[in-house]
Every structure is written in C-alpha cells, then in structure tokens.
Amino acid sequence: MNQITSPEKILGKGLNATFTKQSNLRPIIIATIDSTVSSITPESNQSYMDIFVGSFSYRLTGGFEVGKTGDQVLVRTYNGGTIPKEELESLGVTNEQFIEFLQVVISNHPDTRLGEDIEYSANGFSYSYKVTSTLLLIQATTGLEEVKYGDTVIAQHVITISPVLES
C-alpha cells in the first residue's frame, strides 16, 4: 500500500473511501439523531474518521473529519446540504446522478476541501471549492463548496480546516 505522508492526504483518501462506500461505515447516535461514522486505517500510524450528523438520506447535515499521520492531526468540519429532492428532480436530476458526480469530483480531486481552489464540470454539473479565508497565526482555513446543475445551486457546504496542536 502507498504510504500516506500527511494528514491532508489521508483526509482526501478518507473522503474518497466514504463517498465510494469503501470505508468502514457504521451507525451511531448523536444527540438522539441517527448518524453515521466512516473510518479507514491504511497503515498502523495513519487513521481517518468522518462523523456526520444524520445519514446519507439527510438533506441538510454537518459533521467533521479527522485525519492523522504519525503525530500530525487535521480536523475538517462541514455544514450545509442540498436542495429538496423534489426541486432537484424538477431540474431533471436524480439524487443518484448528483452523488455519482460528487464521487467523480472527489476521485479526480482528492485535494478538494483543503487549502486550494478547485473547479470541475461534467454533464451539466459544476463543482467549485473556493478558499474564503486563511488565518495564518491560527493555522485555520475556511472555504465554500458549491455544486450547480446548470445555473442552479443544488448543494453548498462551508468547510473549515485546522490542525490539532498541543501548544
């Protein structure tokens, strides 16, 4: 197996494994809400966990991912969601097509939702992730993820990334 050398890379690998259902997915309860945890452990000193409130069937959700390699740890939070299923279908798009598009984006751009802008388009869909602020002293980055079908925004998430540091 290829050695993952940074928590950024494990976040990308873990996100891809979650979206392609190649991770260990299991249900959990968070504040009485049925939720899901996804995890992978590619090597003994590496780990990834994604805890999202709700499930794949929820329209609006949030959660956080943790990527660890050696003693380096990154936390990435996300909040937002998609338009209602009926509105999506009125555009001529199924939820399955939307998820398939996201799977392609994440597979082709494992570095998305990190510190650089990403844009990708295919089959009427467009994806963008834009860094909106970087706080160097705190080492935190905030970004906006947006998916459109045609000119209509169908999904949006606010993403925040920061390391876990003892001092």
Quick one: three-class SS letters along 38-72? EEECCCCCEEEEEEEECCCCCCEEEEEEEEEECCE
Residue ranges of domains in the chain: 7-163
In degrees and rounded to multiples of 5, residue 152 shows phi and psi of -100, 125
Task: List the strands of the sheet with 60-69, edge to edge.
Answer: 24-30, 33-40, 46-53, 60-69, 72-82, 152-163, 140-149, 125-135, 118-122
pLDDT band for position 126 (cuts 50, 70, 90): very high
**pLDDT of the residue at 110:** 80
Q: Identify residue 146 by its one-letter amino acid code.
A: E
* pLDDT > 50? residue 12: yes
> What does the pLDDT look like over 36-84, one tens digit per residue?
888 888 777 889 899 888 766 666 678 899 999 888 999 999 999 889 8
* pLDDT > 50? residue 1: no
* pLDDT > 60? residue 4: no
